[in-house]
Amino acid sequence: MGLFTAPPLETNCTIMIEHSADNLHAHVELDGDIALGPGDAVKVHGDPVRLPYGEALTLRRRVTVWKAGALRRWWTQLRAQTELTELYEITFSSEKPR
Q: Convert the pLDDT of each residue in 29-71 to its tens digit.
A: 999 888 999 999 999 999 999 999 999 999 999 999 999 888 8
Band of residue 79 on the pLDDT scale cut at 50, 70, 90: confident
In a domain, 97, yes or no: no
- Residue 45 domain boundaries: 9-88
Measured between alpha carbons, how far is 75 from 96 in angstroms, rounded to an integer? 39
> How does the average pLDDT of the chain come out, rounded?
85
Instruction: Tell me how many domains the chain contains.
Output: 1
In a domain, 42, yes or no: yes
In a domain, 66, yes or no: yes
Q: Is 80's pLDDT higher than 60?
A: yes
In a domain, 75, yes or no: yes
In a domain, 96, yes or no: no
Measured between alpha carbons, how far is 72 from 5 in angstroms, rounded to an integer? 8
Residues in CB range of 17: below 8 A, 6 or more apart: 25, 26, 27, 49, 51, 56, 57, 58, 59
- CB atoms inside a 10 Å sphere around CB 32: 10
Q: Higher-confidence residue: 83 or 59?
A: 59
